[in-house]
Amino acid sequence: MRIIVVGGEGTIGRAVVAALSSGRHEIITAGRTSGALRVDIESADSVQQMFRQVGPFDALVSAAGNARFGSLETMTEDELVRGVHGKLLGQIRLVLLGRSYVREGGSFTLTSGYLLNDPIPGTVTFAVANGGIEGFVRASALEFGQRIRINAVSPGMAEDSAEHFGHLNPGRLPTPMRTIGAAYARGVEGFRTGEIIPAW
Amino acid sequence: MRIIVVGGEGTIGRAVVAALSSGRHEIITAGRTSGALRVDIESADSVQQMFRQVGPFDALVSAAGNARFGSLETMTEDELVRGVHGKLLGQIRLVLLGRSYVREGGSFTLTSGYLLNDPIPGTVTFAVANGGIEGFVRASALEFGQRIRINAVSPGMAEDSAEHFGHLNPGRLPTPMRTIGAAYARGVEGFRTGEIIPAW
Q: Of A73, A88, A130, which has the smallest distance from its Cβ to B143's Cβ?
A: A73
Interface ipTM: 0.96
Length of chain A: 200
Separation CA A44–CA A40 (nearest Å) = 8
The yes-or-no verdict on residue A82 having pLDDT over 90 is no
Model confidence at B51, pLDDT cuts 50, 70, 90, reads very high
Q: Between chain A and chain B, how many beta carbons pairs sit less than 8 Å apart?
A: 129
B143-193 tens-digit pLDDT: 999 899 999 999 999 999 999 999 999 999 999 999 999 999 999 999 999
Q: At what angle do helices B124-144 and A124-144 cross, to 10 degrees?
A: 160
In B129-150, which positions are buried (b, 16+ CB within 10 angstroms) versus exposed (e)? bbbbbbbbbbbbbbbbeeebbb
- Tell me whether residue A98 is exposed, middle or buried, using C-beta atoms within 10 angstroms of its C-beta: 0 to 12, 13 to 18, 19 or more: buried
Q: State the nearest Cα–Cα gap between A176 and chain B, in angstroms.
A: 25
Higher pLDDT, B9 or B68: B9
Separation CA A61–CA A6 (nearest Å) = 6
Put simply, the answer to whether A96 touches B80 (Cβ < 8 Å) is yes
The yes-or-no verdict on residue A66 having pLDDT over 80 is no
Separation CA B128–CA B76 (nearest Å) = 14
B80-136 tens-digit pLDDT: 888 888 899 999 999 999 999 999 999 999 999 999 999 999 999 999 999 999 999
Bridge partner list, B146: none
Q: What is the pTM of this model?
A: 0.97
Instruction: Report yes or no: A119 and A78 within 8 Å, Cβ to Cβ.
Output: no
The yes-or-no verdict on residue B23 having pLDDT over 90 is no
Separation CA A193–CA B145 (nearest Å) = 37
Going across the sheet that includes B37-38, the strands are B37-38, B26-31, B2-6, B57-62, B102-111, B148-155, B196-199
* Amino acid sitting at position B69: F
Put simply, the answer to whether B75 touches A89 (Cβ < 8 Å) is no
- What is the DSSP code string of B51-76? HHHH-SEEEEEE---------GGG--
Separation CA B148–CA B24 (nearest Å) = 20
| Predicted pLDDT of residue A102 | 98
The boundaries of the domain holding residue B146 are 2-199
Put simply, the answer to whether B135 touches A142 (Cβ < 8 Å) is no
Put simply, the answer to whether A119 touches B135 (Cβ < 8 Å) is yes
Put simply, the answer to whether B135 touches A131 (Cβ < 8 Å) is yes
Look at residue B90 and give its three-state secondary structure.
helix
| Predicted pLDDT of residue A103 | 98
Contacts of B123 in chain A (CB under 8 A): 139
Contacts of A70 in chain B (CB under 8 A): none
Contacts of B122 in chain A (CB under 8 A): 143
Separation CA B103–CA A59 (nearest Å) = 51
The yes-or-no verdict on residue A23 having pLDDT over 80 is yes
Look at residue A58 and give its three-state secondary structure.
strand
Bridge partner list, A106: A148
| Predicted pLDDT of residue A68 | 83
Going across the sheet that includes A148-155, the strands are A37-38, A26-31, A2-6, A57-62, A102-111, A148-155, A196-199
Split into its structural domains, chain A has a count of 1
| Predicted pLDDT of residue A79 | 87
- Measured at the CA of B62, the angle between CA B59 and CA B65, to 5 degrees, comes to 160
Neighbours of A196 (CB within 10 A): 17
Contacts of B114 in chain A (CB under 8 A): none
Task: Give mean pLDDT, residues A146-167.
Answer: 96
Look at residue B190 and give its three-state secondary structure.
coil
| Predicted pLDDT of residue B135 | 98
Put simply, the answer to whether A132 touches B88 (Cβ < 8 Å) is yes
The yes-or-no verdict on residue A114 having pLDDT over 90 is yes
CATH of the domain at B133: 3.40.50.720
Contacts of B132 in chain A (CB under 8 A): 84, 88, 128-129, 131-132, 135
Neighbours of B118 (CB within 10 A): 17
Bridge partner list, B199: B155
Instruction: Report yes or no: A56 and A103 within 8 Å, Cβ to Cβ.
Output: yes
Bridge partner list, A5: A29, A61
